[in-house]
Structure 1
């Protein structure tokens, strides 16, 4: 797991390498077409179809990971393949690259012309769901900050958490039970379902319910562990951790997502910037709660600090994982 985290930070997600999430997305698209053809516009049937898609994809992804784990157990020469597969479940470097690409496209002048913002808006449109065509420079930076904070949990810490749970199960069962890759790929399947079907519009209001709820459930505990531990790497100390935990819970509570508001509020308080406000989507405007209200608006420098804090927190999380790996080697 530690080597996989290092590999993720070293190479990220190369475009030339087939990615498991792409395979998951391919299956989701085809299963969605079959489900909609069968269920039509009937909410009950759409919910049943969505539940079936969720079970098929999550269980199938978990079984694929378990099969690769067992292959590695029987054929140690396959260990590099397991390492690459584990790294594919982490998105630390790819998140950094995507957010920094947006920041690099921002013009240097403080009052840029509308055309000067077009490259940054285009780069941002690849990583957010909101409309970007009319965003100002400040709104682009805020969107980048909110993406960096929310997706740090979804793309890095949640899969790392489920890897650790799987590693503990694998170790306790003598390498027989589903392990780190099985649980990580199962989580990535739920996360991909949420990102592709978890929208409250059209048939997806019912078809995407099961995947979205499962993703919320699987991210719930990792998100709260991030909220408790991020202030440590931000230099807040034990008292500061408890204070920032309470502030992040208070600010994130009005958000309809049980996790997105908390994760963004945690990063907002850790870096001392205000997040939230009105976002524009294809279905209209949506007012998001203000997080760390009264603090300065985010800048490119504060977004960079968020990315650095994510890297430090990942190192902190790897410490107990190292202890888990070393425990069997200690004298009894």
Structure 2
């Protein structure tokens, strides 16, 4: 089945081409065009989710089991846990094989599909570092941020079911995230065209990333105290130019006990990222798997906590 994000991407691509044709090189017009693109895509995504929610609430009365299962299936499209884990484990399997030369080439090709950095010259250790960093950052962007907005939508429903619910808010977030992925680059026309979408995505991930910072240490087993892990993660992560990715990587780095950061290249341009969890060893196959395991544990913990809170509100 076509994924909702594919439809969002198609609309964004169409609007991008249309806007660039109209605005040419005018920075102010590009900025306004980006604002309009963001408004249109978010509105269409939110309204589509809201309409599906109306159908669910209507049919739930007549056929609660099948309608709930279908709604859960649609809702799960907003979570990227399975695709993220599958992609990373596939690359880990390749780099663990003996025939390093051929497997490195294939690993780099597959890695290029899930990271933004240049991968052509990465060796095994750098591939593993890239996997550790993308697993950490994308766990927040692809799992915990949409979960947060689903939970908020469910809270809205507890007060008024005419309000946007879990699917509408989750799709609004996914639209924001997709705009950021496609347009949120500080280069050429995109510096202005993608400005609004990038800032909105930062805003929508801001709270979830900090909840992950506070809750993930409860899911890991380390010799350090929980408060010490949070303090060190904040100190290392807040240095990053991104308001969210540094913190996301840092908390996973300390909980999985793996060093992150270093020199990356983006379209040939060198960028030095701050070293995170400097006292811990570099990324390994074991530590990357540990990050995926921590992400799964935290997801289950969040779902349990959310269920308890919703149950309490129903009393």
| TM-score computed with the length of structure 1 as normaliser | 0.90
Alignment of 1:66-215 (within 5 A): 66-76=50-60, 77=63, 78-109=67-98, 113-173=100-160, 175-215=161-201
Measured after TM superposition, the shift of residue 133 of structure 1 is: 1.2
SS at match of 1:280: strand
Q: Structure 1 328/242 Cα, relative in aligned 2: closer, same or farther at 3 Å?
A: closer
1:221 maps to 2:207: yes
List per-residue Cα deviations over 1:170-204 (Å, max 9, x = no partner): 1111x111100010000000000011111111100
8 Å CA contact 2:155–2:310 kept in 1: the answer is: no
**Residues in 2 aligned to 1:253 and 1:41: alpha-carbon distance in whole angstroms:** 34
Q: Structure 1 283/206 Cα, relative in aligned 2: closer, same or farther at 3 Å?
A: farther
Measured after TM superposition, the shift of residue 328 of structure 1 is: 5.6
8 Å CA contact 1:274–1:290 kept in 2: the answer is: yes
8 Å CA contact 2:97–2:103 kept in 1: the answer is: no
8 Å CA contact 1:229–1:241 kept in 2: the answer is: no
8 Å CA contact 1:121–1:135 kept in 2: the answer is: yes
1:307 maps to 2:292: yes
**Residues in 1 aligned to 2:49 and 2:225: alpha-carbon distance in whole angstroms:** 39
User: 4+ residue stretches of structure 1 with deviation over 6 A?
Assistant: none
Aligned residue pairs: how many?
310
**Residues in 2 aligned to 1:325 and 1:63: alpha-carbon distance in whole angstroms:** 24
Look up the match of 1:28. 12
Look up the match of 1:4. none
Q: Structure 1 206/242 Cα, relative in aligned 2: closer, same or farther at 3 Å?
A: same
8 Å CA contact 1:168–1:324 kept in 2: the answer is: no
SS at match of 1:182: helix
Alignment of 1:281-320 (within 5 A): 281-320=266-305
Measured after TM superposition, the shift of residue 236 of structure 1 is: 4.9
Query: Unaligned stretches of 5+ in structure 2?
Result: none
